[in-house]
Amino acid sequence: MTQTYEPVIGLEIHAELLTNSKMFCSCSADYGSAPEPNTLICPVCTGLPGALPVVNKKAVELAALVGLALNCSINPHNTFARKNYYYPDLPKGYQISQYELPIASNGYLDIPGDTENPQRVTVRRVHIEEDTAKLTHEKNHALVDFNRAGVPLLEIVSEPDMRNVEAALSYATRIRAILRYLEVNSGDMEKGVLRFEANISVRPSGSSELRTRTEIKNLNSFRALTRASAYEIERQIKVYEAGGEVVQETLGWDEARGVTVSQRGKEDAHDYRYFPEPDLPPLQLEPAWIASIKSLLPELPDAKTRRFMEQYELKRQEAILLTSEKPLADYFEAVVSKSRSSPKTIHSWIAGEFMRYMNDSELALENIDLPAEKFAQLIDMVTDKTVSGNSGKIVLNEMLKNGGVPQEIVKAKNLAQVSDTGFIQEAIEKILSDNPGEVEQYLAGKETIVQWLMGQVARSTKGKADPNVAKELLVKTMEKRRK
């Protein structure tokens, strides 16, 4: 019998916080807009001797907000710690982080799925730290830019609760959505503001042991997370199959070659010589303060999904799609509120033609200029049969590309649907006399030929004939020839 294996995955997610200033000094944290390297720096974030850190209040608020959104307890007493290691991107020779007492711990996130019973991933902790400087490796040297050094960074650590790559991907996707809902992080992974580390082990199916894991660092896209995890699972299985042992180590992901590569043996916590940060007092968070942060929580994707299912009678997957981004959910609700058509119909328009345009044009929702009211008017014109579904799509694409008012576009493009029977009847007579063979087939019992003839009607009327009226007339006209 061949042995099967079960993957065990835990994720560590690093997210920069969208504050104006850095974590422990007043330098701007907006390093992406800096005109030059090493311009947003001061003695604190470049680690000059004697410089003293001061905690960024806004960063603490945002960290607590994330902790609460992930169902964590906020630790009213939490402390900063020094994580000691040397690397050229770390000017102090240590990173200020949180170790024994993080700001938030013991939460969970339900991964959305098809069923009523989503899979729950335990969030072990959420802690505050500072980002490092940015290194650029040239041929024979490296360049260092301290603009990023000291930018507030959140680390969100899960328990090893995920059992396949899809689960890890949905967890990561949901975390990103929540950070964006909370407006604490832009989610721009290509800019490096959100980075994943996947901890992976495999064990014989049915076993509950936790085997030696490897850690893949700095995964900067969902694609990298997916491919690297899948690769590493297979690699470890091969090691066990060959009778070997997996070595605990830190790996990098080589995107071009599609392989994980060893960077260093994984250090244990004691290698960092963590100790309490002597330059910063513990954070004392009052219950009233925690409550006030909690009151700022918006309706999050899960709750919104459930509400959309109930209020708009949508299927789970439909509601999940619409609530994946808050602006999209808001847009859907704005269209619904201005339209006479059913929310189901509006979902189809958004999930179909509208999102296809977004994908094809690679535009984000905020760069699309179609007022909800005009979209609603167009959908209602289709619902009322003023225009056909296909013509509606043409009008929508025109509005998305060049703006305009649906009624005027319909007029200009001569797209109004006709249910005037005289006009349709005329077209039908012509088609039937041009295609006597098809009429005979119909009369001989081949009813599917009606679809083909309807296609001819749509073509000769340029899609303007109301299909229901046309079909009725078509069948009636052919039936008359029976006698």
| Footprint of Zn ion (CB under 5 A) | 25, 27, 42, 44-45
Minimum CB separation from ligand ADP for residue 459, in Å? 59
Q: Which is nearer to Mg ion, 12 or 89 (CB)?
A: 12
CA–CA distance, 289 with 287 (Å, rounded to integer): 5
Q: Which is nearer to Zn ion, 133 or 189 (CB)?
A: 133
CA–CA distance, 309 with 260 (Å, rounded to integer): 41
CA–CA distance, 350 with 100 (Å, rounded to integer): 47
Structure tokens at 453: 């003839």
Nearest to 94 by CA among 29, 149, 19: 149
285, with CB counted inside 10 A (0-12, 13-18, 19+), is middle
Q: What are the CA-CA distances from residue 39 to residues 32, 51, 183, 403 (Å)?
A: 12, 18, 26, 42
Nearest to 65 by CA among 327, 280, 291, 304: 291
What number of CA atoms fall less than 13 Å from residue 367's CA on the CB side?
9
Give the one entry of Zn ion, ligand ADP, Mg ion, none that residue 269 binds, where binding means its C-beta sits below a cut-off of 5 to 8 angstroms depending on kind: ligand ADP
Q: Which is nearer to ligand ADP, 80 or 312 (CB)?
A: 80
Minimum CB separation from ligand ADP for residue 215, in Å? 7
Minimum CB separation from ligand ADP for residue 39, in Å? 34
CA–CA distance, 17 with 193 (Å, rounded to integer): 8
DSSP strand pairing (214-219 vs 249-254): parallel
Minimum CB separation from ligand ADP for residue 98, in Å? 12
Minimum CB separation from ligand ADP for residue 452, in Å? 58
Q: Find the residue with minimal CB distance to ligand ADP.
A: 10
Q: Which is nearer to ligand ADP, 1 or 269 (CB)?
A: 269
Give the one entry of Zn ion, ligand ADP, Mg ion, none that residue 45 binds, where binding means its C-beta sits below a cut-off of 5 to 8 angstroms depending on kind: Zn ion
Q: Which of residues 2-61 bind Mg ion (CB under 5 A)?
A: 12
Give the one entry of Mg ion, Zn ion, ligand ADP, none that residue 25 binds, where binding means its C-beta sits below a cut-off of 5 to 8 angstroms depending on kind: Zn ion
Q: Which is nearer to Zn ion, 44 or 246 (CB)?
A: 44
Minimum CB separation from Zn ion for residue 43, in Å? 7
Q: What are the CA-CA distances from residue 80 to residues 28, 76, 95, 151, 280 (Å)?
A: 22, 13, 10, 15, 7
CA–CA distance, 303 with 220 (Å, rounded to integer): 28
CA 412 to mean position of chain CA atoms = 39
CA 83 to mean position of chain CA atoms = 31
Minimum CB separation from Mg ion for residue 234, in Å? 22
Phi, psi of 232 (to 5 degrees): -65, -35
Give the one entry of ligand ADP, Mg ion, Zn ion, none that residue 42 binds, where binding means its C-beta sits below a cut-off of 5 to 8 angstroms depending on kind: Zn ion
Q: Which is nearer to ligand ADP, 13 or 399 (CB)?
A: 13
Minimum CB separation from Zn ion for residue 115, in Å? 49
Minimum CB separation from ligand ADP for residue 201, in Å? 3
Q: Which is nearer to Zn ion, 127 or 148 (CB)?
A: 148
Q: Which is nearer to Mg ion, 12 or 61 (CB)?
A: 12
Say which residue the tokens 């990098």 belong to.
252
Minimum CB separation from Mg ion for residue 250, in Å? 8
- List of residues contacting ligand ADP (CB under 6 A): 8-12, 157-160, 199-201, 210-211, 213, 269
Give the one entry of Zn ion, ligand ADP, Mg ion, none that residue 10 binds, where binding means its C-beta sits below a cut-off of 5 to 8 angstroms depending on kind: ligand ADP
Give the one entry of Mg ion, ligand ADP, Zn ion, none that residue 291 binds, where binding means its C-beta sits below a cut-off of 5 to 8 angstroms depending on kind: none
Minimum CB separation from Mg ion for residue 230, in Å? 20
Q: Which is nearer to Zn ion, 54 or 364 (CB)?
A: 54
Give the one entry of Mg ion, ligand ADP, Zn ion, none that residue 8 binds, where binding means its C-beta sits below a cut-off of 5 to 8 angstroms depending on kind: ligand ADP
Instruction: Report long-range pairs for 348-356 (Cβ below 8 Å, ≥24 apart).
Output: 349/375, 349/379, 349/396, 350/322, 351/318, 351/321, 351/322, 353/393, 353/396, 353/397, 354/396, 354/400
Q: At what angle do helices 467-480 and 436-443 cross, to 10 degrees?
A: 80
CA–CA distance, 14 with 196 (Å, rounded to integer): 6
CA quadruple 377, 382, 385, 387: dihedral positive or negative?
positive
Q: Which is nearer to Mg ion, 214 or 461 (CB)?
A: 214
Q: Which is nearer to ligand ADP, 10 or 112 (CB)?
A: 10
CA–CA distance, 349 with 378 (Å, rounded to integer): 10
| Contact residues: Mg ion, CB under 5 A | 12
